[in-house]
Amino acid sequence: MHVRSRWVAMVLALSAGMVMMQAHAVVPVLVIHGGAGVIKRDMDPATQKAIRAKLREALEHGYAQLKAGKPALDAVTAAITVLEDDPHFNAGKGAVFTHEGTNEMDAAIMDGSTLRAGAVADVGHVKNPILLARAVMEHSPHVMLAGQGAETFAREQGIPLVDASYFRTEYRWQQLQKALKRDRLGQHQDEEAEGHFGTVGAVALDTHGHLAAGTSTGGMTDKRWGRIGDSPIIGAGTYANAGCAVSGTGWGEFYIRTVAAHAICMRVAVMHEPLKQAADEVINREIPKLGGDGGAIVLGADGSFAMPFNTSGMFRGWIGADGVPHVAIFADEHP
């Protein structure tokens, strides 16, 4: 090779290397929630400790994927499966009961860089609904599957199915009994006090600068008539695009009516609102104005994030450059 062309080739190789380094220079971030609601301060210390430990475990498990250069989708899936397997959260094992005493779970996942999405609703035997949502996205021509059809697809995909009794916890059963008693007495369900908390979600930014979001839930205690909440509805409880990823938790009907997750991302993309402001507008103004409540986790492609909520607490946490998991439960904690 001519000396000059060798020199040119060397400069080109060096600059290509720098571009590649830049492409891999994004510092990954993972943010999770374990549900918003009234979380009592007198929750016994052992339960609090166990929940905080599980949030940390989910963050570490998810972040290991990001550190290994894996896609944001892998971090979201890894973090959520840890929480689905833990009985403290209203997702997978420990899901809340329907009016009829069954567990009907919903989940969704979305890849921000491609806008691909997968969701499942009303599944009663899928051990980890988030894995089925991901399979719907990756191995079916559809976005959302429900009920028996979703479980047939799970079987075909080799996604673990379990007996319905696997999901049962005494705590959630007693929650249903209280709700049924209120129904019998004709008392209005105080959603704020009892209805929801424990849904799980994750948003992640990977080393390639790609975002993903996922949410998994048992829905709301005492739900009836095949009710489906916001979590599996793309744009309501779960959404991700190239600039913003959201997972919501709260009174789902209001998240559907405000198309909450999509609304937050559109405020960022179209109205150029700072991420925190956009999240605050939807979660702390639009939703309460209609009578709803809850929270969300929101992550931007620049690594900035917000965790707004208007309930007395939200199980939540994040992990970034230093690799140290930060977790919190109550409103006055700043993780």
Q: For 161, which DSSP code?
A: B
H-assigned helices in the chain: 3-23, 45-67, 72-84, 129-139, 147-157, 170-184, 252-257, 260-269, 275-280, 287-290
Kindly give the pairing relationship between strand 29-37 and strand 116-123: unpaired
Min CB(261)–ligand ASP separation in Å: 11
The reply on whether position 232 binds ligand ASP by CB under 6 A is no
Q: Which is nearer to ligand ASP, 131 or 236 (CB)?
A: 236
x/- binding map, residues 248-267, to ligand ASP, per CB under 6 A? -xx-x---------------
Burial 52-82 (b: 16+ CB within 10 A, else e): bebbbebbbbbbebbeeebbbbbbbbbbbbb
Contact 204, 211 (CB under 8 A): yes
Min CB(229)–ligand ASP separation in Å: 2
Which of 128, 216, 217, 311 lies at the binding interface for ligand ASP (CB under 6 A)? 217
- HSE-CB for 200 with a 13 A CA cutoff: 31
Rounded-to-integer distance, Cα 159 and Cα 132, Å: 7
The reply on whether position 315 binds ligand ASP by CB under 6 A is no
The reply on whether position 229 binds ligand ASP by CB under 6 A is yes
x/- binding map, residues 20-59, to ligand ASP, per CB under 6 A? ---------------x------------------------
Single out the catalytic residue among 199, 215, 238, 258. Answer: 199
The reply on whether position 241 binds ligand ASP by CB under 6 A is no
- HSE-CB for 149 with a 13 A CA cutoff: 9
Which of 34, 62, 219, 320 lies at the binding interface for ligand ASP (CB under 6 A)? 219
x/- binding map, residues 182-211, to ligand ASP, per CB under 6 A? --------------xx-x------------
The reply on whether position 212 binds ligand ASP by CB under 6 A is no
199 is catalytic: yes
Rounded-to-integer distance, Cα 241 and Cα 268, Å: 11
Q: Which positions are catalytic?
A: 199
Which stretches of the chain bind ligand ASP, using CB under 6 A?
Answer: 35, 90, 196-197, 199, 217, 219-220, 229-231, 237, 249-250, 252
